[in-house]
Structure 1
Amino acid sequence: MTDNATPGDGQTVLETSGTTTLPPNMQVVAQFIRDFSFENPRAPESLRMEVRPEIDMGVEMNAKGRPDGLFEVDLKLTVKASNPDGAVFAIELVYGGLFQLANVPQQMIEPTLLVECPRYLFPFARRIIADVTSDGGFFPPFFVEPIDFGTLYLQQKDNLAAQQTQGQA
């Protein structure tokens, strides 16, 4: 197999046994906030915390195809902070993207949509959460730790397989 540059298109063309294929490609068509909620129920008392709050966080990734051949991918992040006195803040963010895939092998479409696309969306969603906690009066702002979407995807697949096995028993 050899890599050859096609003049003028900026893409690498792969030649294998006389056949020419283009490499897999993912393009972001659009990004958007689908749903967003921030609650600061005990402000301003919650802003003078002496104890670091306990954080409960959830992550979900969803993807679906569209009739136009594009894919919608949603990254849902939920963050609930509390201390012994009660809720400090609650955030629910569904950050979406519209993606176009080209030359992606069929077996790689699902992992691309549920690992690579959320990996691309994550820094933007993380920034929204940091900004809203800062704007909500919290210092320092809450920064979501990096997420290993590959591991989450594999766990999700394992959980689904275990549920299907239990359902058949």
Structure 2
Amino acid sequence: MSDTTPPVPNGAAAPQPGQPQGPLLLNLQYTKDLSFEVPGAPEIFTTLREQPRIDLQLDVQARALQDGGNVFEVSLNIRADAQAHGQTAFIAELVYCGIFTVNVEPQMVEPLLLVECPRLLFPFARNILADVTRDGGFPPVLLTPIDFVALWQSRRGGQQGAAAPVADA
């Protein structure tokens, strides 16, 4: 690599000058917010005899980073509430984001941002949630794959603004 070639984050290939960009480019991904609480510690660890019941909520948000531009931040918001014997075992909240450049027709922007972008972010968010729950002293929360098409369609069907519940883990 020459001294004149700028480094590219996350090992991504740099677009070559004069070449058209693809319809979707993931520029950067990052953990925007991560919270893990064990409100009943240390007692919960002495009374916990079975895997806690986990309720999951998932939401996807997208916002333009510049007016009229084609660069967007997509946020994958995940909350896991674990209950055991009527008390809270843990609460985990994760906001995992990506900065995407979108080069598609205007009618394709919404499905690309709310279906394809979270689909790319999901494996990384899944690993972070599994690691933080395991490191917190509990069995890792392993999320099953999410049908982002169904999530997007349910939002369009009148459930705007509400976090979509996900089946128990």
- Shorter-normalised TM range: 0.7 to 0.9
Whole-Å separation in 2 of the counterparts to 1:80 and 1:100:
33
Q: 2:24 aligned to 26, 34, 42, which one?
A: 26
| Larger relative helix fraction | 1
Backbone CA RMSD of aligned residues: 2.1
Determine the structure 2 residue equivalent to 1:47: 45
Map 1:100-119 onto structure 2 (within 5 A).
100-102=101-103, 104-119=104-119
Whole-Å separation in 2 of the counterparts to 1:23 and 1:34:
27
Determine the structure 1 residue equivalent to 2:82: 81
Whole-Å separation in 2 of the counterparts to 1:31 and 1:51:
35
Task: Normalising by structure 1, report the TM-score.
Answer: 0.75
Q: Letter of the aligned partner of 1:112 in structure 2?
A: L
| Larger relative strand fraction | 1
Specify the SS of the correspondent of 2:158.
Answer: helix
Task: Normalising by structure 2, report the TM-score.
Answer: 0.75
Whole-Å separation in 2 of the counterparts to 1:69 and 1:52:
44
Following TM superposition, by how much is the alpha carbon of 1:27 offset from its aligned partner in structure 2, in angstroms? Answer: 0.7
Whole-Å separation in 1 of the counterparts to 2:58 and 2:39:
23
Q: Letter of the aligned partner of 2:42 in structure 1?
A: P
Whole-Å separation in 2 of the counterparts to 1:137 and 1:38:
11
Post-superposition CA distance 1:133-162 (Å, at most 9, x none): 111111x3111121111100000100258x
Q: Percent identity?
A: 42
Q: Letter of the aligned partner of 2:80 in structure 1?
A: V
Whole-Å separation in 2 of the counterparts to 1:47 and 1:110:
44
Structure 2 unpaired stretches of 5+ = 1-14, 161-169
Structure 1 unpaired stretches of 5+ = 1-8, 11-21, 162-169
Question: Where has structure 1 moved over 6 Å in runs of 4 or more?
Answer: none
Q: Look at both structures and tell me which one has the larger radius of gyration over its CA atoms.
A: 1
Number of matched residues? 140
Whole-Å separation in 1 of the counterparts to 2:131 and 2:42:
18
Distance 1:150 1:23, change over 3 A: farther
Whole-Å separation in 1 of the counterparts to 2:44 and 2:152:
35
> Is the deviation greater in 78-87 or in 23-32?
23-32
